[in-house]
């Protein structure tokens, strides 16, 4: 490590010495080129037109009402606002307003020159976002300080004026657009609902069912038919038994008239008539109890007529009890009522069987048409649901849009506050002569050194014995040294003093310019 390090240091020292020897050998070329390049850059910077910069800072304040409305979406909308800020501010509409407000169009000859002015203003305007949220800066560079200041302030004012109007217009347009869309989707939903109703009415389809549900319904109907048939068989057997019992009973039986002369048949007739009036208030004439009561009333009336005839032809007295008479047999009457009830139940079950059989036929017909009907019905319902979702979304957005419209109309939304207006620039920001002077120094040294090494590389003359020996392989018999007189030494010395004095003096002038620019920049 020590040996290699020493060798590297020795090599570096040898290269540095070689470099210095080359510079010293062509020192006049090095100095002249370096000072020339330095002069071109430094003095040329004073011929570059000076530019002034004006800057204004604007803050976008989000109101509390706006935050409450937008909620969690507020941050993303603020980002969108900042991203679109540059496009809006440098749009042709805003820049035209600025040009007319500043009377810059008075010097414009034609439309092409106006467009060129707009492009120039947009190109020289710089809009940057600050590290702070919702803060942006607008700056502009130009030759005239007053024009630069007025342009930046006018641009910011016109932008705020334009963006406020755009927000109100956009809020109003959004509400109108959403209202039109809601009306459109409402009509579409109504049309599809009408198609669904017509299809279901024509095809008898009321639900988007599948084959298994229809088969299950058919099985249920068949089970109900079997239950009804079993009940009909039971009631038929009961009916037969009642008829057998009725055949063993007489319709009339012997009754007694009490001593007070009150006819029990007449009392029962009045009771049945009262019962009939009550039944007719609740049921129709075809109701079994109504029919049965009417039949009993008719039978009593006939019996009363027969009783009157019997009393005229045959009279018998009994001192201890009333006279006997013929009247309806209550057991017979009860059996008749039960028979009518049983027949009514049988008729009802038969009607139920017929209804269930019709349902089974309709279900079988549905099974035949299920693939096509189901597809049509499913497509209609899917289309209706899609429009319904869009309708609901538009309805929710309309509510937000209407609130936003009121917020913008009352200037309760985003508020643009000018934190710092552009002031009249005093010092130019371009060209940066400090930077150019340092650049000239480095460029001069680099150009001088580069040209010296280029000349050295292209120089094929032999300057030492070693090169002659190693390069050409020749033997050196003798060396004749250069004869330098005292006069030559004095002349070279005077030239060196003049060159170095001039170079130092010239560098002092450059240093003075550098100090002056630094003082002007910082103080």
Q: Is the pLDDT of residue 495 over 80?
A: yes
What is the rounded radius of gyration, in angstroms, for the C-alpha atoms of the chain? 60
Structure tokens given for 4: 């290699």
Say what the pLDDT of residue 312 is: 59
pLDDT of residue 154: 92
DSSP 470: I
Please return the burial class of 171, using the count of CB atoms within 10 Å of its CB with bins 0-12, 13-18 and 19+.
Answer: buried
pLDDT of residue 195: 81
> What are 420's strand-pairing partners?
57
As annotated, the residues of the chain forming the CATH 3.30.1890 domain(s) are 52-181+399-420
Q: CB of 23 within 8 A of CB of 449? A: yes
Is the per-residue pLDDT at 208 higher than 50? no
Q: Given a cut of 80, is residue 369 above it in pLDDT?
A: no
List C-alpha distances in Å: 150 to 54, 55, 99, 155, 424.
Answer: 9, 10, 11, 8, 9
Q: Which residue is listed with tokens 């304040």?
A: 61
Residue 380, token pair as written in the block: 């209609």
In this predicted model, what pLDDT tens digit does every residue of 86-111 receive, in sequence order?
Answer: 888 888 888 999 998 988 888 888 88
In the block, residue with structure tokens 């009247």: 327
Q: Please check whether residue 204 is in contact with residue 366, taking contact to mean a CB–CB distance below 8 angstroms.
A: yes
Which pLDDT score is estimated for 521? 75
Query: What's the whole-number mean pLDDT along residues 469-485?
Result: 67
Peptide bond before 431: cis, by omega within 30 degrees of 0? yes
Which DSSP state fits 473? -
Low-confidence winner among 221-235, 252-266, 323-337 (lowest mean pLDDT): 252-266
**What is the predicted pLDDT for the residue at 508?**
92
Residues contacting residue 232 through CB under 8 Å, at least 6 positions apart: 346, 349, 350, 353
**Which residues sit opposite 331 in a β-bridge?**
none
Q: What is the mean pLDDT of the chain?
A: 76
- Beta-carbon contacts of 380 under 8 Å, excluding residues fewer than 6 positions away, are 192, 195, 196, 199
DSSP state of 48: S
CATH number for the region 52-181+399-420 comes to 3.30.1890
- Range name among 50-54, 126-130, 147-151, 500-504 with the lowest pLDDT average: 126-130
- Count of beta carbons in the 10 Å neighbourhood of residue 104: 19
pLDDT in tens, 291-348: 778 888 887 787 777 776 666 565 544 444 444 455 566 667 777 788 888 888 888 8
- Cβ neighbour number for residue 241 with a 10 Å cutoff: 14
The residue among 210, 221, 238, 518 whose CA lies nearest residue 375 is: 210
190-214 as b/e: b if 16+ CB within 10 A = eebeeebeeeeeeeebeeebeeeeb
Inter-residue contact 49 to 144 (CB < 8 Å): no
- Cα–Cα distance, 351 to 336 (Å, whole number): 23
The pLDDT of residue 40 is 92
Q: Is the pLDDT of residue 47 over 60?
A: yes
Distance CA 104, CA 1 (A): 74
Any idea how long the chain is?
Answer: 523
Give 378-431 pLDDT, tens digit per residue: 777 788 888 888 888 888 777 776 666 565 555 555 677 888 898 888 888 888
Indicate if the pLDDT at residue 22 is higher than 70. Answer: yes
Burial class (CB in 10 A: 0-12, 13-18, 19+), 242: buried
pLDDT top residue among 254 and 305:
305
Does position 68 have pLDDT exceeding 60, yes or no?
no
**How many C-alpha atoms does 445 have within 13 Å on its Cβ side?**
6
CA dist., res. 507 & res. 212, Å (int): 104
Give residue 60's pLDDT band: very low, low, confident or very high (50, 70, 90).
confident
In 3D, which of 95, 102, 167, 101 has the Cα closest to residue 124?
95
pTM (two decimals): 0.46
């Amino acid at each position: 490590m020590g040996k290699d390090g020493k060798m590297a240091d020795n090599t570096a020292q040898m290269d540095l010495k070689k470099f210095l020897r080359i510079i010293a050998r062509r020192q006049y070329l090095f100095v002249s080129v370096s000072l020339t390049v330095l002069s071109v850059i430094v003095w040329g910077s004073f011929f570059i037109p000076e530019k002034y910069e004006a800057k204004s800072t604007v803050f976008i304040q989000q109101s509390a009402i706006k935050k409450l409305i937008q909620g969690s979406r507020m941050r993303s909308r603020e980002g969108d606002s900042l991203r679109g800020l540059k496009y809006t501010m440098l749009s042709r509409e805003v820049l035209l307003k600025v040009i007319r407000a500043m009377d810059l169009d008075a010097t414009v000859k034609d439309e092409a020159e106006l467009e060129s002015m707009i492009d120039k203003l947009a190109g020289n305007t710089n809009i940057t976002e600050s590290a702070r949220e919702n803060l942006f800066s607008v700056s502009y560079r130009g030759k005239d300080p007053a024009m630069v200041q007025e342009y930046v302030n006018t641009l910011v004012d016109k932008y705020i004026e334009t963006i406020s109007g755009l927000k109100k217009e956009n809020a109003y347009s959004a509400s109108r657009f959403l209202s039109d869309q809601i009306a459109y989707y409402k009509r579409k939903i109504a049309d599809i609902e009408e198609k669904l109703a017509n299809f279901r009415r024509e095809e008898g389809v009321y639900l988007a069912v599948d084959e298994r549900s229809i088969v299950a319904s058919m099985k249920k109907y068949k089970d109900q038919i079997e239950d009804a048939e079993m009940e009909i068989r039971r009631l038929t057997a009961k009916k037969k038994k009642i008829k057998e019992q009725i055949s063993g009973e007489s319709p009339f039986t012997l009754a007694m008239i009490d001593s007070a002369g009150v006819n029990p048949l007449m009392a029962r007739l009045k009771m049945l008539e009262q019962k009939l009036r009550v039944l007719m208030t609740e049921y129709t004439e075809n109701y079994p109890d109504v029919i049965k009561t009417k039949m009993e009333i008719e039978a009593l009336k006939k019996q009363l007529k027969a009783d009157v005839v019997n009393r005229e032809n045959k009279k018998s007295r009994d001192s201890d009890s009333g006279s006997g008479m013929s009247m309806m047999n209550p057991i017979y009457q009860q059996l008749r009522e039960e028979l009518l009830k049983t027949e009514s139940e049988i008729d009802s079950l038969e009607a139920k069987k017929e209804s269930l059989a019709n349902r089974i036929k309709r279900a079988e017909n549905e099974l035949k048409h299920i693939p096509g009907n189901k597809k049509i019905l499913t497509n209609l319902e899917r289309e209706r649901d899609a429009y319904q979702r869009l309708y609901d979304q538009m309805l929710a957005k309309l509510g937000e849009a209407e609130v936003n419209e009121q917020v913008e109309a009352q200037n309760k939304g985003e508020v643009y506050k000018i934190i710092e207006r552009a002031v009249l620039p005093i010092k130019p920001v371009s060209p940066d002569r400090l930077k150019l002077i340092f650049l000239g120094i480095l460029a001069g040294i680099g150009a001088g050194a580069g040209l010296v090494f280029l000349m050295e590389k292209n120089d094929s003359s032999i300057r030492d014995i070693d090169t002659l020996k190693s390069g050409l392989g020749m033997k050196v018999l003798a060396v004749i040294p250069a004869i330098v007189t005292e006069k030559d030494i004095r002349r070279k010395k005077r030239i060196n003093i003049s060159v170095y004095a001039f170079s130092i003096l010239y560098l002092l002038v450059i240093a003075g310019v550098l100090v002056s620019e630094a003082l002007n920049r910082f103080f």
